[in-house]
Each structure stands twice: as structure tokens, then as C-alpha cells.
Structure 1
Amino acid sequence: MGSRDETIRGEMTVRETIARYPQVRVVLEKHGLGECGGPSGSPEPIAFFAHLHRVDADELLRDMNAALQDKTQPTPARPVAQAAPPPADIYRIFIKTALIVALTAGWTLGAVSLSLLAWGPGLSVNWVGLFQAHGYAQLFGWIGLFIMGVAYHVLPRLKATELYSRKLALASYWLMLVGLVLRAVGQPFLAGVPGGVVLVVGAVCLLGGASVFVYVLLRTIARSPQPRAFFESYLLAGAVWFWLSTLLGLAGSVEAASLGLAVLSASWNAAFLHASMAGFITMFILGITLRTVPAFLGLRAGNQKAFGVIFWVMNAGVALTVGLDLASAALGFSASSQLLAAGPILELVAAWGFVYNLNLFRKPAVTFGDASLDRSYEPFIKVAYLWFLYATAIPAVVAAAQLVGAGSALDFLTASYRHALTIGFISLMTMGMASRMVAVFVGVRLHSPRLLYAALVLVNVGAIGRVLIQLVPGPFGGTANAMLGASGLVALAGLALFVYNIWRTMDVSQPQKEVAVETPKQEQAIRDDMPVGEMLHEFPQSLGVLVEHGMARLKDPLERGKLDEGLTLAELARKEGLDLSALLTDLNHVFGIVRANSNVNGTGRKTGTISGETIVGVLLEQHPELLPVFVRHGFAHLQDERMRSTMAKTVTIAMASQIHGISLPDLLSDLEGALNSGVTG
């Protein structure tokens, strides 16, 4: 280990690199990546891993290779991260509790309540208290705890710092949990003064939990050496709305208790719900989206200035709607139809502008190929944002009706809007991002992508049924209530599959030995049972990979001729003491590049076929005269032959352009012009 001819390459996975060269852990910690991907490291290629975390991949590789050659530092006998349980595991208690709440007081309570309604409103049930307890459990338990756990784990890594206080983070967890339990018990089952007291105490606990969370978040950001990123405005706004929504919940609870009630009035409840859904949760989702989704899906870069304008428009709309509900609750103020319409219309403009500028439904600028993990999360994200567009349109339709004096006739749409937003957008987005992030947190693959797809179908069927039924005006009868109950049970079944899937993923005791880098089946031509001679004949580029893995003697044709006929890769690896998993990964990776770029080999000077999908390193191998063009566009590091032969072979022109902020059309135009004219200077 650590010999001079060894080189850490961008296509090697973080996990593989740590296993071979434990000393690189120090480098990862220096770049703020020390605990990313679980104790054994991320199963993603280094180049892709660096791209996701917005770390300069070239610099990271240089530092890793420098550490590899540094003889002054002893090589750890075992990975440092295995010496003690990593403190970052704080996210587990938040996420697992969120899943439990979802399966009890959240989705299950809602589905059961809808089913009970089918038996008739004459049942001796505190329906208002039951539904308000369900709402609190969904917003602060299922989604709130999930957001808190993810934020505590992700934000320090995004900001290259440490969590301000693990103890305070745990304190916020217990405050939230106690508040949720008191709310779940106090509202449906207690009445009068006892119910009101429990309501207030629970609200105080929730406000305390939110306050501690916001404090830890702000202190964590403040200690970061990194400059403020534009997406952080959304996260900070979400934190403020979180605190305000718990404050509104407390104010409404105090009013209810003073009246001897255990339920919030309609106006207080409306203000609380909108601050929680459209303020707290939506802002956090939008912020995390801006930081992660473009990188996950290779989206075209959106206009940051536009996202800045969208931020203010969205918050203005939410603030106006919440403010009017609050004025109605506290002062009995009755706003004009024009004022009532302004908030929903602002939110609609912001939501649709956000999705448009995100470029989510356009052709991606970058195709990562083998570099991404399982992509079963992708349809969740896209479907969730379709729900977001639909959900924000409903209040705008009501607002337009109010402007022409018909708003009251559409008040029944409120329930449809809330469930389109909470189930369709918020829950699906949470499920999709959870399936991607939690697997990376733990450092394993998702337990079952198939179960995730099944959950997507069931939750959508349930949500569509719920929303469509609630689009029908007038009081519900027994049949409609039964259909509502059935839709709730279908969605609950989808949630149960999701919970099982994530729980199993989190409970994997050891990361899988196989690297979780997927290669299209048609390109997985290199298998462990493949004869070495056959592979070298059909895929001559594999010789270079074998040499890199220590088989330098095979450069001699006579040595290759000495290989036993029928000797498989598995047998060769065992005989030579090679890492079979790493060898197969490298062989299939190079094979995929060769196949995907086979058209470049026939590129003529008059009919060049350079595209954004062309691999930079392969193109420069074929046409070294194009190097000055890349250098003129800011890729000076490509003058280093080592960079051209390693890092450059893991990225496409489009990916390199996006990472370095270079205009892809301009670069392609110059490359084509140079290739066709032969003029590169």
C-alpha cells in the first residue's frame, strides 16, 4: 500500500478507497466529508461524491494521493470511524420516531377516523379534536421530526462544520415527543379544563423543541467557514416558520383553554396549518431541493436570481395568508376579497416559477450513468412536484372566485388542497428524499427499490381518491365517507411498505461488501466467472485495468500466453490476492465508457460528433489537439496528464461544464470548430 505507482482515481468509490488506504480518512475530514456515507464510507465514486457535496474533485483527489505517498503518517490498522459509534447517528432516533408517529397518530389515525365517519357522525367521537390531533401528528411528528433529524445530520456536512450541540439536539427531540404525546392524548380524549391544560402544556413543549432546533441550526451555520449559499435562505425561512407555527399553536391553545375547550378555533387552526404546511415544511423542502436535486438528477442550472425573487414572493404570500387568518382569530378582522386573494395568488406564482426554474421536467444537462445509486427516488420527486403545482392552484382558483363574488361556494376545496399538499407533495417528497438520503447516511443500498415503487403507486392512488372525493361540493354521505376511508387505507398501505423499507435499510448492521454503483445490465459484460483470455481478446482495454491492479507482468504478451486456458477472473483474483469486487467495478466502468463512447473513435474532422455526453478524457485521447480549447475555457488542470488519464475519464463535457460553471454551448461550438478546421491555437 502507498507505493508510487498507485493512484487514487475519480471512478474509485469512497468506500473502496478507505478500505484500501485508511489514511485518506484524514483528507475526507479536512474537506468536511468525514462521516458522509456511513462508517465505511460512501459507496459512490469519488468524483460523483465530490460533485454532490460541492467539493472540488481535482483538489480532493490531489490531497488523497498526497496522503497516499506521505510516509510520515502511520497507516491506521483499522478505520478510525469504527473506534466508537459515530455521533452523527442522532438522525436515527428522529427518523425512526417519525416513522412510528406516521404509523400511529399520523396516517393510521387519519385513515381510521375516515373509516369511522362511514358509520355516521352520530358516534360518540370528538371529531374535531381527533382530526386536529391527527394534523399535529402529521405535521410535527411524521414530517417535523423527519426534517429535524435530516437537518441535524446534513447541515453540518453541507457547511463543512460540526453540529453545534448534540445534547441540545436530543433535548429538542424529547420536547417535541412529549408535546406530540400530550397533544395526541389531550385533544381526542380529554375535554373541559383538563383537556385545555394538557393542550397548553403540549404546545409549550412543542414551542420549546422548535426553539432549541432553530438555535442549534443557527449556531451550526454561524461556526461554518463557508460563505452563505443561496439555498440557505429557504432553510432559514423554514426554521423561522417552524418557530412561528408552534407559537401560533400555543396562542390558539391558550385561547381554547381559557374557554374551557380542548380544540383550537377554526381561525387559529387555519393560521397554524398554513404556517406549518406552506411556511415551515414547504420552505425546508424547497431549500433541500435546491441543494440536492439538481446534483442528484443532473438538472440544468436554474437562475439563482430568479430563485431569490421566488423566495420573497412565496414568503410574502404565506405571511399574508397567515396574517389574515391571525387577524380573524385574534381581532375578528374580516378582510376584503381582494386582500384574501393576494396570498394564494402570490404562492401560486412562486410555486410554478420555482418548478419552471428548477428545470425538473426538462432534459437533464448531465447523465451520470454508473455514478448514481439506485434511482427509484426520482419518480417520487417528479410526481411530488406535480402535486405541488396542483395543490397551489386550488387556493388560487378559490381566490379568483372570491374576486367575482363566488368564493364562499368553493370553500369546500380547502380540505382537498390540504391533502393534495400534505400527502401528494410533502409526504411523497419526504419519502423520495428519504429513500435516497437514508441509504447514503447508513452507507448501504436501499433495502428494496421494488417496495418503494409499490409504495409510490399506493400512496398516489390513495391521495387521488381522497382529493377527488373532496372536490365534490356539499356534505358527505355514508358512501362518500366510506370511499374516503378506503382511500385512506390504500395510502396507509403504501406508507407501511415505505416504513418497512426504510427501517430495514437503517437496520443493516454492516454495509454491503458490493459497491452500490449500478451499471446497465447490457453493459455488465465483465463477470467474475469470465475467462481472462476471452476478456482480453474481446475487450483489450481491460489489460490496462489488470495492470493498475498489480498485474504489470501481463503487459508482456508472453506472460499473457502463460495464463491457464479457462482461468476465470475470480480464480485470478484469488491466486494473485486481488480485490475481486474492486477489480470488477473498474473493469465494468471502463467497459461502459468504451461502449458509450465508441462513436468518438470514428469522429472525422469534417463531421465531428462531439456532444455533451462525450467523455472528456476519451476525447482528448482521440484528439489531443483539442486540449488548448479546453484550457482557454478554464480547464487549465487538464494540462496535467494525470488529470487527463484519471479524473477526465469519469466526466462528460456537460458534467465538467456544469461543475466549473462553463457555458456548454460555447465550449461545444469551439470544440466542433477546432475539430473541423484543425485550428486549435
Structure 2
Amino acid sequence: MHTIGYGKHGHTSKLETENKQEPFWRVAPVVKAALLIGACGGFVLASVLTLSLAFAIPPGMWWEAVVQAHGHLQLYGWAGLFVLGIALHFFPRLCGAPLAGARFLPWLLGIAIVSLILRAVSQPGLIMVDAPAWRLMLVNSGLFEVIAIGGILFLIGVTARRGPPAKTRPAYWSVLPFFVGAFCSSGIASIVNLLNVVQAAQGSGLALYRSDALNVTLGLFGFLVPIALAMSARSLPMYAELDGFPRRALWPLSGTYFTGLALMSVGTANNLPQFWANIIGGLGMLLTGGVVLLFVGTFLRLMRKRGRLPQRVAQLAPKPVALAQSYKKQIKKEQANYGPFVGLVASSYLWALLGALLLLIDGLSLLATGSAPVAIDAIRHSFAIGFIALLICGIAPRMLPSFSGCQIVSPRLVSATLWLGNAAVVLRVSPLLLSPFIHSAQGYALSTILMGLSGPCGLALAICLTINLWPTLYSSARHTA
């Protein structure tokens, strides 16, 4: 394990810390695993689910098992590992200390991959063939996940403790509550998942709906969305040449967000009387949706100014006009090298905006009438595919080359992910939103066909992203060494 040298006053110098930071190739295998799990697992299961609806294959317990396995693989495998891999490179630099115990990362990654494979195989397998081996594999998937997530969180905690005081690093301090809340949610989610798979293995092979919904809530709204918001607040202005996010607003927003998440979790998981479940869950949706709405509104306002020299830079420049011209040339060069990555980021925020509005609608309706007019599946996919997946597709082609020193395959593949990703979300979410207004057999058939196409579009998105990013996961610095 790496140790940190201290000077006279007990603090590591900035230069020493930078020299001791782990290179990107240390965490690149985590991102590789995420891409392969998405292209070969999560999106494949999504295609199976949506195409089975399009071809009118009767759903049964096998379908529910695949739904639960698919959701877990996408949240904690594809998106979860991808975001975690970037966070393991980004967070140590943000807090000012090298990643602790980096040599243990391959072992923890291997355990995490085994847990995801066991979950993807054993849960549908148990539904088809009731055998003790499937039940044992299902329980082991949850146990391995607790070990992997617990080990990674331990390394992150040690890393944070070795860094300088958080208040001495304003950029780190401003987003710290989002990281803390996200990492805690990830740890709690792994324990909830273990309890779910134990219950499923002892019963029919399916986790209880409320328990599985809690695991999804913690993975999506507890881990992925807060990490995406925190990293956007810190890194997006730098990579997309935008003004910075207001730091003073981050702590109040984080407190409100995680209060809403706690209320949503209690309303989802506990067998409360329906009246109180509606009140608690509705308030949680209002708080969570409201924070996301404020975040997205701020980011979209900042992105409208892209193409103009950021005000903070113009005020310091001796020749603002010449610098503005150079700034515009830089933006055109980045568009040529990285494709429409800003368009992907903007579209991801628009889908987050829709998801936030749907949360507000459901929250208000639960408080007023006790019913939710919008299907929760539509809200989840607006965030999971629309916000998280498109944000990954937008920022990764711009960010990973700067980490590794290697370039993406082609900016045209970035354009392909722009169209494929938005098509996948539209095809997946619009039938759910329009279903209350569909009363004819023809309309129902059309909606199932549209939903059937969403899975293959998502799979094509994952394949394009994997091909495009793969060269960036081989650090040029390591090749040189």
C-alpha cells in the first residue's frame, strides 16, 4: 500500500501528491469491465425483454426474473462500474491523496464481476430449473457483491482520510456531501441486495417487489445520480468550457436531495399504511425531483453560454478579444476531435429534466389523491438511460482521452451514440407515458413494437460506446514505460 510523505507541518506538498497519484491504467480495467458487461449482458437482457413483448411471447416468472437480473446488471454492472471507475480516478485527485491500496483493486474488481455474472445467470436459471446449485449461486452473488463494494468503499475512505483537511480544498469540500451520500447508498444497497437474494433463494427465485424497488432506488437515485451531479459540477465546466457551478448552493442542495432519497426509500421499503406511504413517498419525490430540476436548470443555463468566453476568464485576460477568438477555435477543434459530445450532455440533462418533472407530478399526485399517474418505470428509464447513459456517452469520449493520453476511434461513433441513445429512451419511455391514453388494439400493438425496438437500440448504443472508448483504456504512459 502506498504511503504518503509529510513535511514539517504534517501535510504533503501539492507536487508530492501529484507525483504519487495512481495513473489511469490502475482503474481502466473497471471501465473495461463495465463496457463489456453492458454490451454482452445488461443490454442483451434488455433486448430479450423488449423483443419478447413485441413478439407477444407470454410473460411469466421467467420474465420477472430477467427483469430483476437486467436491472441489477445495468445499475450495478454497466453504469455502476463505469461511474465507479471514473470516480476512483477522479476522487483521489479531488481530495488530494493517492488511491489507497490500489494493488487490491484487481481482486475486488474480479469479485464484483463474479457476483454480477452469478446474479445474471442464477436468477433466471432458478426459475427454469429448481436446483440447489442455482440457489447457492444466487446467494453467493449477493455475498460477493458486499465484499467487493465494502472493500472498494474502504479504500475510498482510507484515501479521503490521508488527504489534507477537506475545507482547505474548496472544490472538494463543495461536492463532498454528494460523494459521501452516494458511497453510503452504495454500501447500503449491497446489503439490501444480499437480503433480497437470500429471500429469493429461499423462495420462488424472485425478490419481493418492495425490496427490489428499494435496491433500484438506492442504486439509481442514491448512487448514480448524485455521483453524476457531483462530477458534473466539478468536471463538466472544465471539459465543456463553461462557467463554474455555484459552489455555495451545493451543500443545501445535497442535504435536500438525500432527505428526499431517505423519504423515498422509507415509502418504498416499509409496509406502512397506504396513507403514510403515500405522504412519505410523495414528499421524497418532491424533494428529489426539485433538486434535480434546479441542478439541470443551472447546467442548461450555463450551456447556453457555451461558445462565448467564460466571464471569469475574460475578466483576467489582458486581451479579451483575441482570447475569445482563440476560445472559439478551440471549441471547433474539440467538435472535430470528439464529435457532438456537448449535444449528448445537453440531451442527457433534458431527459433528467423530464425525469424530475415526472417525479414532481407523481409526488404531488400522491399527496393530493393517493395515486401516481406516471409509471415509475418511465421515471427510472428517463434517468437511467436518458440521463446516466447519455451523460456517460457524452463526457467519456472527452474525458478518457485526457486521462489515458489515447484517442477515441472516431467522432462519428459519438454521433451514432447521440442518435441511438435518444432513440432508445424515446422508444422505451414514450409507450409508458402514452399507455393511459391508448384504448385500441392497434395503439397497443404499436406501443409494444416501439418498446421492442428500444432494446436493440440500447444494445447498439453500448456496442458503439465500447468500440469507441476501447483504445482510450490503454494508457499511452504505461505503453511508453
Per the normalisation by structure 1, the TM-score is 0.59
In the other structure, the counterpart of 1:45 is: none
Q: Does the residue aligned with 1:499 lie in a helix, a strand or coil? A: helix
Aligned in 2, Cα 1:158/1:369: closer, same or farther, shift over 3 Å? farther
Q: Note if contact 2:73-2:120 (Cα within 8 Å) is conserved in structure 1.
A: yes
User: Which residue number corresponds to residue 167 of structure 1?
Assistant: 103
Cα drift, residue 342 of structure 1 = 0.4
Q: Which residue of 2 aligns with 1:210?
A: 149
8 Å contact kept, 2:239–2:398: no
Could you tell me which of 43, 49, 55 is aligned with 1:107? 43
Letter in 1 for 2:450: M
Q: 1:256 to 1:112 in 2, by over 3 A?
A: closer
- Structure 2 counterparts to residues 103-182 of structure 1, below 5 A: 103-122=39-58, 126-182=62-118
**Within the alignment, does 1:502 sit opposite 2:469 as a pair?**
yes
Is the 1:160–1:226 contact (alpha carbons within 8 Å) kept by the matching residues of 2?
A: no
Equivalent residue letter for 1:145? L
Report the Cα distance in structure 2 between the residues aligned to 1:393 and 1:123, rounded to whole angstroms: 31
Q: Return the match for 2:15 from 30, 33, 43.
A: 30
Describe the shift of the 1:134–1:336 C-alpha distance in structure 2 as closer, same or farther (beyond 3 A): closer
Aligned to 2:396: 434
**How far does residue 308 in structure 1 lie from its aligned partner after superposition?**
1.2
Q: Does 1:326 align with 2:241?
A: no
- 1:354 paired residue number: 295
Q: How many residues align?
A: 432
Correspondence for 1:389:
353
Residue 444 of structure 1 aligns to a residue whose secondary structure is coil
What whole-Å deviation, never above 9, does each CA across 1:579-618 have from its counterpart, x for those lacking one? xxxxxxxxxxxxxxxxxxxxxxxxxxxxxxxxxxxxxxxx
CA contact under 8 A between 1:249 and 1:272: conserved in structure 2? yes
Amino acid at match of 2:404: V
Matched, 1:423 2:362: no
Aligned-residue offset at 1:441 = 1.6
The alpha carbon displacement at 1:102 in A equals 0.4
Answer whether contact 1:455 1:498 (CA < 8 A) is retained. Answer: yes
Equivalent positions of 1:226-241 (< 5 A) are 227-228=166-167, 229=172, 230-241=174-185
In the alignment, the residues of structure 2 paired with residue 401 and residue 121 of structure 1 have an alpha-carbon distance, to the nearest angstrom, of 34
Partner SS for 2:179: helix
Residue pair 1:444, 1:512 contacting (<8 A) in 2 also: no
Question: Which residue in 1 is equivalent to 2:450?
Answer: 483
SS in 1 for 2:276: coil
* Displacement after TM superposition at 1:177 (Å): 0.8
Instruction: Report the aligned-residue RMSD.
Output: 2.8
SS at 1:164 equivalent: coil
SS of the counterpart of 1:175?
helix
Alpha-carbon spacing, 1:394–1:183, altered in 2? closer, same or farther (3 Å): same
Larger radius of gyration between Structure 1 and Structure 2: 1
Identity %: 25
**Equivalents in 2 of 1:306, 1:123: separation in Å?**
47
Amino acid in the other structure paired with 1:187? Q
* Distance in 1 separating the partners of 2:422 and 2:278: 34
Give the CA deviation at 1:418: 1.1
2:362 is aligned, of 398, 406, 419, to 398
TM-score, L = length of structure 2: 0.82
Q: Do 2:234 and 2:245's aligned partners in 1 also have CA atoms closer than 8 Å?
A: no
- Gap change, CA 1:256 and 1:361, over 3 Å in 2: same
In structure 2, which of residues 234, 245, 251 is the aligned counterpart of residue 291 of structure 1? Answer: 234
Structure 1 distance, partners of 2:349, 2:160, is 28
Give the Cα–Cα distance (whole angstroms) in 1 for the partners of residues 447 and 468 of structure 2.
32
2:119–2:141 contact (8 Å) kept in structure 1: yes
Match of 2:270, SS? Answer: helix
In structure 1, stretches of 5+ residues that fail to align are 1-27, 37-85, 514-681
Assess if the C-alpha contact under 8 Å between 2:239 and 2:399 holds in 1: no
1:446 aligns with 2:408: yes
Q: Larger deviation: 501-510 or 104-113?
A: 501-510
Which residue does the alignment assign to 2:343?
379
